[in-house]
Amino acid sequence: MSANVEQNHRPAPDDLLVAIADYVVDATIESAEAYTTARHCLMDTLGCGLLALRFPECTKHLGPIVPDTTVAHGARVPGTSHVLDPVTAAFNIGCMIRWLDFNDTWLAAEWGHPSDNLGGILAVADYVSRVAVAEGRAPLTMQEVLTAMIKAHEIQGVLALENSFNRVGLDHVLLVRVASTAVITRLLGGNKQQVIDALSQAWVDGCALRTYRHAPNAGSRKSWAAGDATARAVRLAMITMKGEMGLPSVLSAPRWGFNEVLFNGQQLEVSQPFASYVMENILFKLSFPAEFHAQTAVECAVQLHPQVKDRINDIARIELTTHESAIRIISKAGKLANPADRDHCLQYMVAVPLLFGDLVAEHYEDDFHRANPRIDALRDKMEVVEDPRYSADYLAADKRSIANAIQVFFKDGSHTNKLEVEYPIGHRRRRAEAIPVLEQKFLRNLQTRFPPMRCQQILELCLDQQRLETTTVNAFMAHFVIN
């Protein structure tokens, strides 16, 4: 046979597609800790979305694509009056969740925000439930939503452990699309083969470039990219459920597969079975709306504020000791063009709390930045140094630290102590300390959108694990509707 003839033998599905489908369809989550953490994650993620509704740059992206469109039995968007098709609703919810960079984080060879998957999960679960009620069938329960969250977290997080997409210039929202597609297909009633087929479509979409997260192109797309990914997952799941065929060797196909085209010929690695590890170990952002590699640096800066606030003009230099990933992702000099640029700048996120004793979302806005030239003056005095131990502990499976340290040196030769924080308050090692802070954060965020009685009703429901899990999705979402 001629060497120029390609053999057209359709192979069995790639092993990774099968492993994910087996997990999504067959695995039972036994971990009570995972369900408790998923409940906390649900609270925190929705609260972040509600807080984002205060920002016009976020809300301009929300609502139907065509104004005044109405959708029978559509999905509700929390904190708004929007009732949308599930694809558009997933984008809306995903955009809200991610806008302020304040939801959960997973750090590994690839980092990301697994709660971004909630955009598609919640939109589809509400839509499926409302259709079911209209047809006289039982709706989904919030226990099923929590299960989907645990599994989406696990898929995204386990794939991130060994596979660094950022090192080849690709963005982590690929993993949102993959994880969301898998669990959403299942929520729509998909069987194992349909989950495999839908997953193949998620991988064949390729991946967004990371350039919108980095100088000189950092901008607001990073705040809606995950919403776009989870909305695309809904679309792919829905067309699969209509009978769209899959692409079984989407990852491994010679010349044309994902590995060959986009991953430098490397095979994707999975170093542990899918279970509930990621949800149990997820990192919450509780104190500051800041890129997670900087969370402990901000904690240090807040603690140093009383020592430096009256000596700002006397500062000679500031030494920031950090880990390799922070240097690669968020250390930057020069002009910062917009809020999205500032909330991914280590030096900016340290300068603000040194000056003001806190860091809130409004501190990234253009007006605040223009009114405070001392921020950039402090940035110019910062030196960023890697500590190899910090970099090693960041990747160590039994630690997963996110360490930073700050020391301020003054012109007269004096200096502060070197203040170090290795684990942020949202880390599993500080979980007991974190949960009351998370609950208060959730209540504050509810209060930005709802009257006191509604806030209390929602809080009481979300604090009761058993009651929440048995609540139907449509009833849960009704608490968040604004008429």
Digit-coded pLDDT (tens) for 243-267:
999 999 999 999 999 999 999 999 9
Q: Comparing C-alpha atoms, which of 171, 107, 119 is closest to residue 148?
A: 119
Is pLDDT at 1 greater than 70 in this prediction? no
Sign of CA dihedral 68, 69, 74, 79: negative
Q: How confident is the model at residue 10 (pLDDT cuts 50, 70, 90)?
A: confident
Which residue intervals of 3-75 are DSSP H helices? 15-26, 32-52, 56-59
Residue 460 CB-density burial (10 A; 0-12 exposed, 13-18 middle, 19+ buried): exposed
Q: Report how far residue 301's alpha carbon sits from residue 295's, in angstroms, rounded to the nearest whole number.
A: 10
CA dist., res. 436 & res. 93, Å (int)? 25
Asked whether the beta carbons of 353 and 305 are under 8 A apart, the reply is: yes
Helices and strands in the chain, H and E counts: 22, 6
Given this model, what pLDDT does residue 109 score? 87
Query: What does the pLDDT average to over 128-150?
Result: 98
pLDDT higher at 36 or 394: 36
Decide if 278 contacts 154 (C-beta within 8 A): yes
Q: Tell me, what's the pLDDT at 9?
A: 79
Q: In what order do the strands lie in the sheet with 382-386?
A: 382-386, 315-322, 404-410, 419-421
Torsions phi, psi of 384, nearest 5? -105, 125
Looking at residues 285-307, what average pLDDT do you find? 92
What confidence score (pLDDT) does residue 194 get? 98
CB contact at 8 A, 257 and 249 = yes
Q: What CA–CA distance (Å, rounded) separates 178 from 182?
A: 6
pLDDT at 2: 54
- In angstroms, rounded to a whole number, what is the distance separating the alpha carbons of residues 350 and 375? 9
Asked if residues 179 and 17 have their Cβ atoms less than 8 Å apart, the reply is no
Residue 397 has pLDDT above 90, yes or no: no
Residues 437 and 287 sit within 8 Å (Cβ to Cβ):
yes
Span 218-235, pLDDT tens digits: 899 999 999 999 999 999
Mean pLDDT is lowest, of 134-148, 402-416, 418-432, for 418-432
What is the pLDDT, as a whole number, of residue 3? 60
Query: What per-residue confidence (pLDDT) applies to 292?
Result: 85
